[in-house]
Structure formats: C-alpha cells, structure tokens
A and B are shown apart, each in its own frame.
Chain A
Amino acid sequence: MKPVTGKILWALLASLFVLPAAYLLLLSFSASWHFPLLFPDALTGKWWSLGFTSRFALLGSMGLSLGIAAGVSLLSTFAAFFSSRWMALSRYRSALLLSAYFPFVLSPVVLAAATYIFFVRLGWNGTVAGVAFAHFLIAYPYAVILFSGYWNERLLTMDALAATLGAGSFQRYRRVLFPLSRGVLALALFQTFLISWFEYGLSSYIGLGRVPVLTVEVYRYISEANPHVAAVASLLLVFPPLLMLWVNKRFLIRLI
C-alpha cells in the first residue's frame, strides 16, 4: 500500500471508530439537534443535570448496574476459577467444557425467553436478584471457557508439588494458585463485568422493565424519543469500559 493511501485509510478508520463516541458526546450537550443541522444549534448542560434528577434517576440506574455487574463478575469469576480447575483434572474434561459452550453461544434473550417460566415459578422475574442470576448464567460459562486453557500441566504440577510440601487445599489457593493467577483473574473479572454491564436483552426480558439497569434505561429513552438523555445514559454506559481501555486494553478483547 502506498503511504498516502495508507494514511488516508488510517484517518478514515480513526474517524469511524471515534465518531460514535464523539457524536453522542455532542448530542448529550446539545440543546436540540435535528435535520438538517450538521452541528447542534446551542450547547447546554441541562440533559446531564436533568439525567440525574429524580425523574430520570440515571445515577440510581448506574449504581444498580454497577452493583449487579460487580456481583456477577466476582461470583462468576471465582466459581469458574474453581470449577475449571476441577475440570482440568477430570476424566470428563472436554464434555464439561462443551457444556459451557451452549449457554455461551446462545442468544441471551432467547435463553431468557426459554427459561422465563422458571423465573416466574421462582418469583424471580422482575427482580434484581433474577436479573443478576440470569447474567450469572451467561457470565459463568464465559469465564469457564476463558480459564479452560489456563490450567496447563506446569501449573497443575506446581500445585501438586505444593501439596507434597505440606500445603492443604486452602493454603494452595492462598499461597500458590491465587498469587500466580492474578493476571488471568483480573482479565476474567473485567470481562464478566462487561458482559453483565452491556447486557440488554436478558435484563429487559427477565427484569420486565422493572429493573432499571442502565441499558434498559438507554433503550427506554430511545423509544421515548428522548435522544439527549439517551445519549447521556449511553455515555455513562461507555465510561467504565473506556476506563478499562486506559488501564489495560487487553481487557476489552473478548468474544461477546
């Protein structure tokens, strides 16, 4: 490729990638912005302040999303860490791993539709706990798949060696496995957090719109034709992952 063509292409891509965030940022600060204006007629901070009033309560939504995502991420990461280790030592390793792939590849909202009746029977539909559990059902298999390649022969042997040196199960987790796995644990924590944080279909289906997580709110403002507040909510949704990108871009590469 010629350098000039390459540069133009690069600039084009850069603008394509930056455009959505930039556009939404501008939209959230514009008093009004409609056809055929190329730029908003006036800038205002009112959507942001309005977004946090009791009528919109975006702060509450953000807190709720944050709470659910944090809980789901912690629980699914550690549950998957343990079960993937057990799986690595199991005769049925590949079958057990395969079972994690099914919920992983299925459309979350279809999973919600198919299992909704059970949530109703348990009284979990329309509740925060129900939504969190539904998130867990897709975040956990993801984490299992993430960890499945991690338990290699060397790590398992080191674990066995620690056992012959006198460390019991708990001690081995504390002194060997957790410290050695800090990197992969952080990765799983962040990614399962994102799965829950980004999830819309499952949340709205199981939550019946009564659990106002941030994605559900974004959709609500879009369908209520309130694009400015929707933009504010969208930016709140994008903020944590952007922060992660700044901390470690590796955290964002994931398959969902």
Chain B
Amino acid sequence: MLKVIKLNKSYGKERVLRDLSFSLREGDILSILGRSGSGKTTLLKILAGLKEPDGGEVLLRGQPVLHLPPQKRGMVYLYQETLLFPHLNVFENMAFGLRVRKIPGSEIRKRTEQLLHELGMAGHSAKMPEQLSGGQQQRVAFGRALIINPSLLLLDEPFGKLDSRTREEMQELFLRICREHRISVLFVTHDLKEALCMGDRIARMEQGQLKMYAKRSDFIRDAATGAKKEMDFWTGIREESKMKNNEQ
C-alpha cells in the first residue's frame, strides 16, 4: 500500500538518502533500525510531508502523495516527545484531529470516549497533560494519532524516553491496538530488541539506503545488525554459568 521509489535527499554535501526504495503492505509493521544520523528521521519527515525530498516518488495506495501538504496525507508522525498540546485536556488532545475535520460533536464524543476506554485512559479525560505520567502521556499521544484512522503511522523512537517497564507495557498495548485496527506502521528505533519484537518485517538503514530482511533469521544472521553479537554475548554468559555449575 506504500511504495517508496528512489528517494533522494542531501543536506549540503552530505547525501542522507540515496535512491532509497521499499514498499509496505497494508497492516504491516516495519521496524527500521539505524544509528542516529543515519537518515531515519529524514525519511519519516519526508513521508509525513514535513520535508521535501530532492527527488523520488512516494505512492500511497497507488496515488502519488509528494505534492500533498501534510494535513492531506493522513500519515501521522509521532515524536519521541509526546508533544501533547499543553492548553488542551486529555479529551481535547485526543479529539484534536476530529475537531479540525469539523466532525459533529456527538460523534467526536463517542469516538473519543471509546478510544480513551480502549487505551485505559477513561478516567483521565479531564486531566491536563502535565498531570499525567510519561506512559499515560504516550497513550494520549498514540490515541490522538489513531483517532483519525491514519493510513500510515510514522513513529520516531516513540518509547525512547520511558523507563523499561512502562516501555514494555506500551509496546504490548501498541502492538495489540495496531493489530486490531489493522494499521500500517513505520517504526524507527535504535533498540535491537524493540525492532525485533515490534516489526512484522525488519529493515536497517545504512548509507542512505534501506536494507530489508525477508525473514527474521536473515536479520539475525547479518553481522552488521549486531544481533548475532548480542546473542553470542548472552549465550556466552549462559555457557559460563553452566560450566561453573558443573565444576561445583
């Protein structure tokens, strides 16, 4: 449903994206792994319409979208920071996308309340953003994006600032809801484990191009991803403790 063809982008002399191409199926979650500065964020911003590419084409359900302003693309970009609107309460933050579409009030209420419930935020609708915990803020930010039924969600290390427990909770919740709503997602992260457990498919950003892995095993086998090294590390520790146990 998403087709990216030969995207190029340079900042001055530095080529950030070089003929980058890939495609995504409806309802798929693609994890994109890459170091900081590898162009992940640039890619997402171009897709969202916040940056202009130097060349290339992006098709969404067969239609070119590069000429459309961000508000007409239906792709929501979520940042590491939740960026909830500080002057709006939880309910209004969630309902934002519906309000700007001039949807009738009764329907806004129905849809927002349902989603609040789904996200486990039903009791918090009147609270202001600063009264919420990090995880709760993330839920609202997520709900704010979901409510407009985006054609594509673009997530830029969304859980990067959460503590590890909240992070796992959010990952689960996120996966469950994306599956239920059949939302297509590009998920950028630099965390190996997160990339593996969130994505139906995994890709790695390198030198301005996206390397897609057909299967997880391919990804793990590729030395450049670091997955192999990581596994060896843990295996090594296990072996070590086994040996120690045997000696005793």
Contact = CB atoms under 8 A, between A and B. Distances in A.
Q: Do chains A and B touch in the complex (CB under 8 A)?
A: yes
Interface of A: 154, 157-158, 160-168, 171, 175-176, 179-180
B134 interface: no
Contact of A158 (B73, B85, B99): B85
A166 B48 CA distance: 11
A233 B57 CA distance: 68
B69 A163 contact: yes
Given A162-B85, A164-B154, A166-B71, 16 more contacts: A157-B81, A158-B85, A160-B50, A160-B77, A161-B77, A161-B78, A164-B50, A164-B73, A164-B77, A165-B71, A165-B100, A165-B145, A166-B74, A171-B71, A175-B99, A179-B87
Given A163-B70, A165-B144, A167-B71, A176 B85 contact: yes
Interface string B6-46: 00000000000000000000000000000000000000000
B214 interface: no
B138 to A, nearest CB: 14
A175 B144 CA distance: 15
Nearest to B51: A160
A164 B100 CA distance: 11
Nearest to A158: B83
18 contacts: A158-B83, A158-B85, A160-B48, A160-B50, A161-B77, A161-B83, A163-B71, A164-B48, A164-B49, A164-B70, A164-B71, A165-B71, A166-B101, A166-B148, A167-B97, A167-B100, A179-B87, A180-B85
Given A165-B76, A165-B96, A165-B148, A160 B70 contact: yes
Nearest to B141: A161
Given A175-B96, A175-B99, A175-B100, A164 B83 contact: no
Interface in B135-165: 144-145, 148, 154
A18 to B, nearest CB: 39
Contacts of B174: none
Contacts of A166: 71, 74, 97, 100-101, 148
A153 to B, nearest CB: 10
A97 to B, nearest CB: 22
Contact of A180 (B49, B86, B154): B86
A162 B81 CA distance: 14
- Nearest 3 A-B pairs (CB), nearest first? A163-B70, A167-B100, A165-B97
A161 B83 CA distance: 8
Contacts of A154: 81, 83
A66 B78 CA distance: 47
Contacts of A175: 96, 99-100
A164 B76 contact: yes
B75 interface: yes
A165 to B, nearest CB: 4
A160 B81 CA distance: 13
Contacts of A161: 77-79, 83
Contacts of A164: 48-50, 70-71, 73, 75-77, 154
Nearest to A174: B100
A157 B86 CA distance: 13
A175 B77 CA distance: 18
Contacts of B71: 163-168, 171
Interface string B59-95: 0000000000111011111110101011100000000
Contacts of B79: 157, 161
In the complex, which of the residues A160, A179, A180 has the most CB atoms of chain B within 10 Å of its own CB atom?
A: A160
